[in-house]
């Protein structure tokens, strides 16, 4: 498949923008009050327009540098949310589950490449599916959350036996390890395996192996929403309480309740090597077909971070830790009319305050033209100009403005897919196309 075809597939799928590359652009020095005022103003606007409710925390080197909360945690009682409000975090739970699995490996209770046949022989392809496949969404197991049965019954208690039976009945979506595709069934089964080998509940393991050692006092497996937790909402002329899922249906895939502060502490501890061995942390961060083992990779403003996002009912959560910047960020929402990804990217950009690199119209003109791949003469990359902005013209259909990063390098930002870097020679006759650590060489068509 041609490079531009790959790019356009990603663009059509995502229709959003973000960042990537290996050269860090250092943030400008700024008074803390500058970013605080800017982020406060942004959140105040969201609040006044009923666009967003939730909590945000940024921590640098373990110190909180920004925190804020807008909206209500309980609209019936007009209870305002605070920074200590607890939220359901959805699939961010998977990072905890993956950590527990690697803890079990370090306790010599599991092996990464052992199959799940001895635990659950009735699951399709159990003799081929390994623990690693489950962790990295490469098992082929159909996700139970895609089943209409799940949505019809998600507010009811469903026993682990019944959930396992449902998962075992599904036909495989693909042959194990042939590709990656996100499936909540993977992490439900991982939680059941943990309970089997330790002979205790997922909740107890979470507390014993992670929460107590890291002093996460406000993180636990949820039950019914209580007075110290937030309810979630959808918006239709006004905020309406979202029907509450029974967390028996979520287990290791999305059952945890936490606070932004606890989540920052967890991801910082995990990603600075204070929870698992360096070898196992590296395995968690290894990305294959967009998935790590319990982690996603994020690219924001030319910075790389790892974390996870989550969604359950009206709740949304995103936690990311940027190792080089020693920066932890968590946003948890209990109601939003706008894309959470847009919110967290805007907040991070305001905090990081990256310097804008200027380029003149005359300089941009140097890189305009059609570039042909040295490996495939039918593979071309087209660049046009809009004043002092270089624009990537994709398949004669989509125009994507590029961000200039200096040194003849431009970036096409994408939110979930790897961002794309175009680095030109000074004379504009050659171009290097980079994505996901891969490089392709192009020359300008005469």
From 109, 144, 105, select the one nearest 123 (Cα to Cα). Answer: 144
Number of residues that make up the chain: 446
User: Is residue 155 predicted with pLDDT exceeding 70?
Assistant: yes
* pLDDT > 90 fraction of the chain, expressed in percent and rounded: 77
CA–CA gap between residue 61 and residue 73 (Å, rounded)? 29
- Report pLDDT for 13: 40
Domains of the chain, with CATH numbers?
3-25+357-444 (2.40.128), 33-352 (3.40.710.10)
Contact assessment for residue 406 and residue 339, using Cβ atoms and an 8 Å cutoff: no
Mean pLDDT confidence for 114-132: 97
DSSP state, residue 252: G
Which is nearest to 93 in space by CA: 9, 14, 3, 203? Answer: 203
Residue 321 — φ and ψ, nearest 5°?
Answer: -125, 125
Low-confidence winner among 49-63, 156-170, 401-415 (lowest mean pLDDT): 401-415
Query: What is the C-alpha separation between 381 and 410, in angstroms, rounded?
Result: 13
> What's the rounded Cα separation, in Å, for the pair 214 and 270?
10
Q: What is the pLDDT of residue 355?
A: 62
Q: Which tens digits make up the pLDDT trace of 357-381? A: 889 999 999 999 999 999 999 899 9
Say how many C-beta atoms besides its own lie within 10 A of residue 105's C-beta: 19
396 has a pLDDT exceeding 80: no
**Cα three-residue angle 407-304-70, rounded to 5 degrees:** 115
Whether pTM > 0.85 for this model: the answer is no
pLDDT at residue 186 tops 80:
yes
Rounded mean pLDDT of 339-353?
87
Whether the Cβ atoms of residue 150 and residue 156 lie closer than 8 Å to each other: no
User: How far, in Å, CA of 353 to CA of 99, rounded?
Assistant: 33
Residue 321 is inside which H or E element, if any?
strand 315-322
């Amino acid at each position: 498949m041609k490079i531009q075809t790959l790019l356009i597939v990603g663009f059509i799928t995502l229709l959003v923008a973000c960042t990537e590359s290996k050269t860090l652009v250092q943030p400008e020095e700024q008074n803390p009050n500058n970013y605080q005022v800017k982020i406060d103003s942004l959140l105040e606007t969201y609040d006044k327009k009923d666009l967003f409710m939730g909590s945000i925390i940024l921590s640098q080197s373990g110190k909180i540098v920004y925190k804020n909360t807008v909206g209500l945690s309980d609209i019936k009682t007009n209870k305002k949310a605070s920074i200590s409000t607890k939220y359901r975090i959805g699939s961010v739970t998977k990072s905890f589950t993956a950590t527990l699995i690697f803890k079990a490996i370090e306790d010599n209770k599991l092996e990464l490449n052992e199959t799940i046949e001895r635990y659950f022989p009735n699951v399709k392809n159990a003799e081929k599916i390994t623990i690693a496949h489950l962790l990295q969404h490469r098992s082929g197991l159909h996700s139970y959350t895609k089943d209409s049965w799940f949505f019809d019954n998600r507010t009811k208690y469903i026993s682990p036996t019944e959930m396992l039976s449902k998962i075992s009945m599904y036909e495989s979506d693909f042959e194990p390890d042939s590709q990656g595709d996100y499936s909540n069934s993977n992490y439900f089964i991982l939680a059941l395996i943990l309970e089997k080998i330790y002979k205790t509940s997922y909740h107890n393991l979470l507390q014993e192996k992670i929460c107590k050692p890291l002093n996460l006092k406000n993180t636990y497996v949820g039950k019914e929403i209580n007075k110290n937790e937030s309810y979630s909402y959808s918006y239709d002329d006004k905020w309406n309480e979202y029907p509450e899922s029974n967390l028996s249906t979520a287990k290791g895939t999305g059952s945890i309740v936490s606070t932004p502060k606890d989540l920052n502490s967890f991801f910082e501890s995990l990603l600075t090597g204070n929870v698992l061995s360096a070898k196992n942390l590296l395995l968690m961060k290894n990305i294959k077909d967009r998935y790590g083992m319990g982690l996603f990779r994020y690219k924001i403003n030319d910075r790389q971070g790892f974390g996870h996002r989550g969604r359950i009912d009206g709740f949304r959560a995103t936690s990311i830790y940027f190792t080089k910047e020693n920066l932890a960020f968590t946003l948890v929402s209990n109601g939003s009319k706008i894309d959470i990804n847009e919110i967290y990217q805007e907040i991070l950009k305001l905090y990081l305050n990256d310097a804008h690199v200027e380029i003149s119209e005359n300089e941009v003109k140097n890189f305009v033209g059609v570039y042909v791949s040295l490996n495939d003469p039918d593979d071309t990359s087209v660049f046009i100009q809009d004043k002092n902005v270089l624009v990537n013209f994709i398949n004669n259909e989509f125009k994507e403005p590029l961000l200039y990063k200096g040194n003849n390098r431009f970036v096409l930002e994408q939110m979930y897919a790897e961002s794309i870097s175009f680095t030109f020679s000074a004379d504009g006759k050659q171009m290097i196309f980079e994505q996901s650590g891969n490089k392709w060489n192009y020359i300008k068509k005469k």
